[in-house]
Structure 1
Amino acid sequence: MKKTFTASAGLIWTFWLLLGFGSVFFIFFAANARSAFGPEKELRVGYFPNVTHAHALIAQNMALEGRGWFEERLPGVTITWHGFNAGPSAMEALFAKAVDCTYVGPNPVLNAYLRAKGGVAVVSGAVRGGAGLVVPADSALSEPTHFKGKRIATPQLGNTQDIACRYWLTQAGLKVTMAGGDVSLIPVPNPSILPLFVKGEVDAAWTVEPWVSRLELEGRGKLLYAEPAATSLTTVLSANAAWADREPDLARRFSQAHQELTEWIRQNPDEAQRRVADELTRQMRRTFPLELVKHAWPRLVFENAVNAEDFIFSLKAAQDAGFVRNVNMGLEKLVAWP
C-alpha cells in the first residue's frame, strides 16, 4: 500500500527538525556564554544583621526577587551570605577562609591586620555613625565618671563598640581592664542586650543600630553618647588579602558593585529602609518594624571613602584598651583599593 505524505505529517516533521536545531543552538550558545564569563565561581560574604550592614541586607532582599544587586553585576558568580554577631568572629572566619570578604567594624580589621602582619585589606568604606551608649530614661548617669562600679553591656569583647566604650571610659580616668577594673564591661550578643537592659541586669549598653533604637523605643532608654558620624567608622568592606591577590578582577568588580550600591542607598532612602526592615524580618523570623529603621537611619552616613588615616583613632583606642601593644608595622597597606 502506498504511503501518502500529508500536510500535517510535514508540519510535525518540520517541528521536530526545528526543535532539534534549536536545542543544538541553545547548547552551543550556553557553552560559549559560560566560556565567555569563565567557570562558575562562588563569592562568600560575611555580614551582621544590623542596620549598619544595610548593603548586605538590601542585596539579599533584592536577590529574593530575582534581581540581586551583586548577581546582576557579577555574571557567572554565585554570592553566598554568612551572618555573624560581631567583628572578631567575622575576622576569624576570614582568616580561616570560610568567607572571602566581610562587612565589619574597623577595630576587628585593625587588630587582625596587626596581629597577622597583613592578611586582610579594607577595599571600601560603607557606613559611619550609628553607635553609642544608652542608659535607662530615668538614670542619673550623665558622664563617664558616673559609671564607676557600674555594668555596661557591649556586643563582643574586642569589637568596635567594646573598644570605643573602653576608650571613652579610660579618657575620663577610669580603669578598665579585660576583666574587672572600675567598670565592668559585659560582652553579650546584641539580641541578648535588650532583655538584660529591660530587667536592669546591666546599667547601660554601648551598641550599634538597630539595637540603639530598640533600647530607646522598646527598652525605655535614652542615648547618652553618640559616636560622631563624621569621624567614626562603623562599617567597612574587608577582604582576605590572599583571596584578593588570587582573584583581583573579582575583588575589583565586587568592590565597585558595593560602591554603586552605596550611591543607590543614598539616592533611594525610602526603598532602602523598607528593604532593610523586610530582610531583618525574614532573618529574625519576626516582624522588624519599619519605624525602627526610620528612627535609626538619620544617624547613619553611607560613604565609600576610607583611608589609612581613618584607622588612627581606632589604633589609639585599641592601644589604650590593651588590645594592641607593640605596633611594628605601618597602616599604609591596610586600605587597598582593588
Structure 2
Amino acid sequence: MTRRSPRTLRRAGVAFAVLPLAWGLAACGSDDDTAAASTDGGVADEVRLGYFANVTHAAALIGVEQGYFADELGDGTTLSTQVFNAGPDEVEALFAGALDAAYIGPSPTINAYGQSNGDAIRIIAGAASGGAQLVVREGIDSPDDLRGTTLASPQLGNTQDVALRTWLTEQGLENSVEGGGDVTIAPTPNSDIPNLFQSGELDGAWVPEPYASALVLDAGGTVLVNEKDLWPDGQFVTTHLIVRTEFLEQYPETVDALLRAHVESVEFATDDPEGAKAAVNAALGEAGGRELAGPVLDRAWSELTVTYDPIATALARSAENGVAAGTTEEEVDLEGIYDLRPLNAVLSDQGLDPVTSEGLGEE
C-alpha cells in the first residue's frame, strides 16, 4: 500500500475545526444550509466528519493526516473535520445536520438509533477494538476500596461512562446518573482528567487511550480494570464509523470514497505500525492537543486493535449495558443498525474478507 505524504491533505484544502466542549445546536444553522449539496448524482460537495483526538480513533487520525480521505474524495468534494471530546456531543451534531459522518463509540450510537426510532444513523464500519481501562490511585486494589471515591468518565452516556457504571453495579457499588451512591462519577473532559488525578481531586478514571496510558506512565496510576478482560477473546467495539442515513442514501459514491480511505487507514495501521503511530501523533498535535511521549504512545497502541470489523457480536451487550448503567431508559431494538454493504463491496474489490452484522442489518 502506498503511503501518502501529509502534504497531499494540505493541497486538497481540508477545512479543519476544533470544537469547544460546550458546542451546541445554535452553531448548526438551518436545514437548508446544513444539507450537503450534490455535484453529480451520489457525490457530495462536502463531507463533514467528526472524530476524537484519541488513539482509539487512529483510523480517522491516519486518514486525515495521510491524506487518504482527501485523495479518495477527490477534488469535487471538500472534507471538513471537527474534533469532539465524546460521543453524545457528536450525536447532537449529527441530529442537527452539522455532521455527515462520525467516528464514535457504541453507546452514543445505540442511543442515537433508539432516539430516532432507527431512522437517523447507520453503522458502516468498525474502527477500533480495545483501548479502555479503569486507572486508579495508589491504595485502591479492589472494588471495595472504591467506596467513597470519585471517578471520572469522559461524558455522561459515552461508551466509557456506560462501561464504568455497568462494572460498578456488577460489583455491588451503587452509583447514579443524578450523582451520589457508593461511588461518585464525575463526567470530565478527557484532557482535564490527568491534572485532576494528579492533584487528588479524582481517585481514578475509566478512559480511552491515550489517557489511560498517560495516567499510568505520567501520573503514577495503576490499572484496576482493563476492559478487554471483560469481553470474550478480549474483543469489543470501542469505535466505529457511522453516517447519517439520509447522507448514505443520497451520496453513495461519497460514502464509498470514505470507506476506501477508511480501509486504507486500517491497512496502513496493520502493515506499518511505526509509520501509523507517527501519523497518529502528528494528527493529535494538529487537532489542537499535543503530541504524545514515545512510551505513552507505544503503550496506548499496544492496548488496541485498529480494524474495519464492526465486531457486531458486542453491540447487543453494549445495549444491555446502557440500560444497566441508567443512561438508556429501555433496551434498543438494534435490528437494521448496520449497513455493511458498501464496506463489503470495498473489501471484495481489494480481495479482503467480508465482515458481518450478525443479523443486525444489511451486509
Q: TM-score range by the shorter chain?
A: 0.7 to 0.9
- Runs of 4+ displaced beyond 4 Å: 35-40
Residue in structure 1 matched with residue 220 of structure 2 by the alignment: 220
Residues 1-338 of structure 1 aligned to structure 2 (within 5 Å): 41-62=45-66, 68-75=67-74, 76-118=76-118, 119-136=120-137, 139-178=138-177, 179-228=179-228, 230-284=234-288, 286-306=290-310, 308-327=312-331, 330-337=333-340, 338=342
CA distance in 1, matches of 2:90, 2:41: 30
Q: Deviations over 1:286-311 (max 9, x none)?
A: 44323321121111111211254321
Q: Deviations over 1:140-181 (max 9, x none)?
A: 222223212111011111100000000000001121111111
Q: Deviations over 1:201-250 (max 9, x none)?
A: 11111101010111111111111211117322111001111111111222
CA distance in 2, matches of 1:111, 1:173: 25
Is the 8 Å Cα contact of residues 108 and 158 (structure 1) preserved in structure 2?
Answer: yes
CA distance in 2, matches of 1:127, 1:300: 7
Is the 8 Å Cα contact of residues 274 and 290 (structure 1) preserved in structure 2?
Answer: no
Is the 8 Å Cα contact of residues 55 and 261 (structure 1) preserved in structure 2?
Answer: yes
Instruction: Report the AA paired with residue 173 of structure 1.
Output: G
Is the 8 Å Cα contact of residues 123 and 239 (structure 1) preserved in structure 2?
Answer: yes
Q: 3-state SS of the aligned residue for 2:102?
A: strand
Q: Does the C-alpha gap of structure 1 residues 115 and 269 become closer, same or farther in structure 2, counting only changes over 3 Å?
A: same
CA distance in 1, matches of 2:311, 2:193: 32
CA distance in 2, matches of 1:39, 1:153: 42
Q: 3-state SS of the aligned residue for 2:248?
A: helix
Is the 8 Å Cα contact of residues 134 and 204 (structure 1) preserved in structure 2?
Answer: yes
Percent sequence identity over aligned pairs: 38
Q: Deviations over 1:87-116 (max 9, x none)?
A: 100111111111100001110001111111
Q: Deviations over 1:252-303 (max 9, x none)?
A: 3312321232112100100000111122123335443233211211111112
Displacement of 1:40 in angstroms is 6.6
Instruction: Report the AA paired with residue 272 of structure 1.
Output: A
CA distance in 2, matches of 1:335, 1:207: 26
Instruction: Report the AA paired with residue 226 of structure 1.
Output: N
CA distance in 2, matches of 1:291, 1:250: 38
Is the 8 Å Cα contact of residues 273 and 290 (structure 1) preserved in structure 2?
Answer: no
Q: 3-state SS of the aligned residue for 1:149?
A: coil
Instruction: Report the AA paired with residue 145 of structure 2.
Output: H
Is the 8 Å Cα contact of residues 94 and 100 (structure 1) preserved in structure 2?
Answer: yes
Instruction: Report the AA paired with residue 260 of structure 1.
Output: E
Instruction: Report the AA paired with residue 123 of structure 2.
Output: V
Q: 3-state SS of the aligned residue for 1:228?
A: helix
Displacement of 1:36 in angstroms is 8.1
Q: CA RMSD in A?
A: 1.9
CA distance in 1, matches of 2:146, 2:94: 35
Deviates more, 1:222-231 or 1:75-84: 222-231
CA distance in 1, matches of 2:116, 2:210: 31
Q: 5+ unaligned residues in a row in structure 1: which ranges?
A: 1-34, 63-67
CA distance in 2, matches of 1:172, 1:188: 23
Q: How many residues align structurally?
A: 296
Is the 8 Å Cα contact of residues 124 and 259 (structure 1) preserved in structure 2?
Answer: no
CA distance in 1, matches of 2:298, 2:258: 28
Bigger helix fraction: 1
Is the 8 Å Cα contact of residues 51 and 210 (structure 1) preserved in structure 2?
Answer: yes
TM-score between the two structures when normalised by the length of structure 1: 0.83
Q: 5+ unaligned residues in a row in structure 2: which ranges?
A: 1-38, 343-363
CA distance in 2, matches of 1:36, 1:74: 13
Is the 8 Å Cα contact of residues 63 and 261 (structure 2) preserved in structure 1?
Answer: no
